[in-house]
Amino acid sequence: MPQIDWPLEQLKTYRGKSPKPADWQAYWDRALKELEAADPACTYEKDPVTVPGVECGHLWFTGVGGARVHAQLMRPTGFAGPRPAVLLFHGYEGHSHDWYEKLPFAQSGIAVAALDVRGQAGLSQDTLQITGSTFRGHIVRGVDEKDPDKLFFRNVYLDTVQLARIVAGLEFVDESRMASVGFSQGGALAIACAALSGQMGRTVAGYPFLADFCRVRELDYPNPAYDELKLYFRLRDPRHEKENGFFERLGYLDTQWMAEKLTAPVLFYTGLADMICPPSCQFAVYNRITAPKRQVIYPDYGHELLPGAWQEILLWLLEWAAGGQTP
């Protein structure tokens, strides 16, 4: 078994080293209040793709800052009564992908909403205007602004909440049976959605991104996803004079603090050979979850497709949606 981080027994007790801003809760309370005042102005258009037992379409809504945000929507048509729903979140700089990837959920009677993260490869708009810098990605976008509300991922997290509220209000969805699911960036968004919306009955998070930024920088793996952290210091703060403030600002986004807010059961996946989202950063998140939880560990796998995971996720959610209580 490769060892790219601390031994497993040490990982099991690690709780992160990145700072949590003193006003973290007030920051997100203010953000949610802003979202409450926004008119989502939802629209829907059916997609011409034909799939037996499933209607495929495009949901659009207005997020904070006026951006038009897109999500794929799949409605099971061969089932009676309101259906459970899964909110799917994609990886960093990606998009919601093809319809067929979501068919196992939809054809099993679970409605699916798959968000396109604003400013990435999907159809969603990005309207954020900042005066600071962006280096090969979005993590540091807005970090130099005087107003911490200018952080890019603040708006993305709020989009997940907006999507949850919209899906909960659909006439064919049972709002008491909703789950958030994602890997990497999607894992972070699945956790943020559940933490901030309070509407998820289950959460699945695989090797979540945006976690324990100080530890990421300390490890300094050759890592394109987090490369902007290194570039920020090399190009904007070469003497690290702003380091403390930099990491505290990113603390508003840190997945480990979102994890503390989870209340419903969590299924969590970790690859111990992950050099994109380091194992210690994943454990920093998992170890802060106080809700019922189960971690599935792949000792020889990294940031990649984990054999058997998606089948396990589908069966876990189907059992829960049918009334099972297994955490």
Q: Percentage of the chain surpassing pLDDT 90?
A: 85
Answer yes or no: is pLDDT of 131 > 90.
Answer: no
Cβ burial, residue 254 (10 Å; 0-12/13-18/19+):
buried
Query: In degrees rounded to 5, what are phi and psi of residue 320?
Result: -65, -45
Answer yes or no: is pLDDT of 327 > 60.
Answer: no
Which structural domains are found in the chain, ordered by start?
8-318 (3.40.50.1820)
pLDDT at 137: 76
Query: In degrees rounded to 5, what are phi and psi of residue 189?
Result: -70, -35
Q: How many CB atoms lie within 10 A of CB 107?
A: 16
Q: Are 243 and 250 in contact (CB under 8 A)?
A: no
Digit-coded pLDDT (tens) for 142-163 = 999 999 999 999 999 999 999 9
Digit-coded pLDDT (tens) for 54-80 = 999 999 999 999 999 999 999 999 898
pLDDT at 323: 79
Digit-coded pLDDT (tens) for 266-316 = 999 999 999 999 999 999 999 999 999 999 999 999 999 999 999 999 999
pLDDT at 189: 98
Q: State mean pLDDT over 121-146.
A: 81
Digit-coded pLDDT (tens) for 239-258 = 999 999 999 999 999 999 99
Q: Are 247 and 213 in contact (CB under 8 A)?
A: yes
Distance CA 202, CA 174 (A): 14
pLDDT at 132: 67
The residue among 77, 91, 85, 89 whose CA lies nearest residue 114 is 89
Distance CA 294, CA 22 (A): 29
